[in-house]
Structure 1
């Protein structure tokens, strides 16, 4: 890893992403007078005013990401969001004002979405969102698109990230890294080989899942909750979408599952996905050079992981 990005570096990156989104939108025929940054962390989200369009530009990326792999994931996201919208599922769909394709501009890959008014009158209810996640799983069961098994686990990235972190004891404590590496040796075959997963968890069916904690990615619009951010759409057990949330959220999901005629969560699979989620948190610290604040805001997750039994 290189030295950490400075606040000036991050501000420059955000400005470059905004400018790329404005230029790309204008090239697609949108009338844009300014780009207003609505949000920035792993991605920069820009309202292309006065057009009712928002651009999302990923800016903090795993070192294993290529332009081709990123564009593939974005196409899958656009396709599943459009399909769900067409089925009547409450989602943020792709913008109908531009072609449904990611656009490459100035080193960024950009997708376009409708500007949606947010209801800021109350705090997010992640327990209720966990119950709603069962509605999403029920809708996704018949999604016809082709999806790889647990691609959102990013196994190639995790393996290489743990290697990279060997030289960064200032980011991950050596004893934490040792445990992560030992657990990954057990977990990696279950993540990369569908047959190994099925042998470990017989009878647990696989289906399209959101891939990136849908309870945290439900947008509170003024017209009600909308599922969003399908960047990590994948095929796997439904437990994948409840990783790391805890018993109260799991119970809420089970209530939603019962309403939808779906099975309850499997405790063994939950332990597996929680373990993978924890290792992915540590692996993402290899990207802290791009987003230094990551070290601090991921620390509570690592502290919680330390208190759990190692996966073996």
Structure 2
């Protein structure tokens, strides 16, 4: 496990790299400041209206394949830029630099327009779920390519479970074996578009946010903006609504039908919710890089165990 000193040093290296990359691109940077620091260090290159996302906590499959990370970041920038260009409320890629990831000092980073976030109390989750239908309606038209199929699962889960086999202090051997059984059950429909379409005929596949868009929104004085398209992928819309609960599902369905889209499919929702919980369990493999994950993921791991027991 990294120590607090290790984590502070990693953050400092990320800030230094973001600052140097920004200046190399011609940005005026006097007072870089960290806005957020969990899986990525988010740096505002003040006084420039630019924010840099520097991923620092990475799954094994990405650590072993920098090209995979770069390809996914290009997809993220492409989709977010495409939505921005069409007037959707999305945190835009910075217009002051090229829409390309920048690699420096071992970090691959992306540049975004700075938005002044405001504290807006508890978000209206039902409203956010309803607005997600509008996001999906827009994404149906995206044809920029570069998107894999359910990459948020295929990229992270199998390699993470292999790591967890060698980290018995994070998840015991019996749980790892159960998690592998779950993945063997889910993989045929989550790693193959043909397999998914054969299992769920009539359920369409399209570009989706990939990582709980109802959660990844930034409130500002002029409204809420979707952010964090790091896991953008082709998939079923149900994945974007996994684990939000019945009220959120009902709000989404009402908005989707009003936009001429289909309502959520309960069978697909069950599969994607199982996959979302399994992905949370798999995230424990990154705890040596981010020790807070042990406690943060404990409720999700318990929920996964409980659901398995209910199915048994």
Per-residue CA deviation, residues 178-212 of structure 1 (Å, 9 max, x unaligned), is 22111111111111111111111111001110011
Report the Cα distance in structure 1 between the residues aligned to 2:28 and 2:109, rounded to whole angstroms.
Answer: 17
8 Å contact from structure 1 (residues 22, 34) kept in 2:
no
Which stretch of the first structure deviates more once superposed, 166-175 or 219-228? 166-175
Aligned to 2:29: 32
Aligned to 1:199: 198
8 Å contact from structure 2 (residues 152, 231) kept in 1:
yes
Aligned to 1:151: 151
Please report how far the alpha carbon of residue 309 of structure 1 lies from its aligned counterpart in structure 2 after TM superposition.
4.1
Cα separation, partners in 2 of 1:156 and 1:51, compared to 1, 3 Å: closer
Alignment partner of 2:38 out of 41, 46, 52? 41
8 Å contact from structure 2 (residues 278, 304) kept in 1:
no
Aligned ranges for residues 172-183 of structure 1 at < 5 Å?
A: 172-183=171-182
Matched length: 308
Report the Cα distance in structure 2 between the residues aligned to 1:164 and 1:297, rounded to whole angstroms.
Answer: 19
Please report how far the alpha carbon of residue 112 of structure 1 lies from its aligned counterpart in structure 2 after TM superposition.
0.7
Aligned to 2:251: 252
Which stretch of the first structure deviates more once superposed, 48-57 or 192-201? 192-201
Aligned to 2:122: 123
Report the Cα distance in structure 1 between the residues aligned to 2:217 and 2:255, rounded to whole angstroms.
Answer: 15
Aligned to 1:74: 73
CA RMSD of aligned residues (A): 1.4
Please report how far the alpha carbon of residue 223 of structure 1 lies from its aligned counterpart in structure 2 after TM superposition.
0.9
Report the Cα distance in structure 2 between the residues aligned to 1:293 and 1:98, rounded to whole angstroms.
Answer: 34
Please report how far the alpha carbon of residue 284 of structure 1 lies from its aligned counterpart in structure 2 after TM superposition.
1.3
Please report how far the alpha carbon of residue 218 of structure 1 lies from its aligned counterpart in structure 2 after TM superposition.
1.3
Q: State the TM-score, normalized to the length of structure 1.
A: 0.95
Aligned to 1:102: 101
Aligned to 1:235: 234
Q: Say which SS state the counterpart of residue 215 (structure 1) adopts.
A: coil
Report the Cα distance in structure 1 between the residues aligned to 2:240 and 2:100, rounded to whole angstroms.
Answer: 26
Please report how far the alpha carbon of residue 84 of structure 1 lies from its aligned counterpart in structure 2 after TM superposition.
0.5
8 Å contact from structure 2 (residues 120, 219) kept in 1:
no
Please report how far the alpha carbon of residue 274 of structure 1 lies from its aligned counterpart in structure 2 after TM superposition.
0.8
8 Å contact from structure 2 (residues 281, 300) kept in 1:
no
Structure 1 unaligned blocks of 5 or more: none
Alignment partner of 1:57 out of 30, 54, 57? 54
8 Å contact from structure 2 (residues 91, 227) kept in 1:
yes
Please report how far the alpha carbon of residue 240 of structure 1 lies from its aligned counterpart in structure 2 after TM superposition.
1.0
Report the Cα distance in structure 1 between the residues aligned to 2:308 and 2:30, rounded to whole angstroms.
Answer: 54
Please report how far the alpha carbon of residue 294 of structure 1 lies from its aligned counterpart in structure 2 after TM superposition.
0.4
Aligned to 2:267: 268
Structure 2 unaligned blocks of 5 or more: none
Q: Say which SS state the counterpart of residue 214 (structure 1) adopts.
A: coil
Q: Say which SS state the counterpart of residue 60 (structure 2) adopts.
A: coil
Aligned ranges for residues 202-221 of structure 1 at < 5 Å?
A: 202-221=201-220
Per-residue CA deviation, residues 58-77 of structure 1 (Å, 9 max, x unaligned), is 00001111221111111111
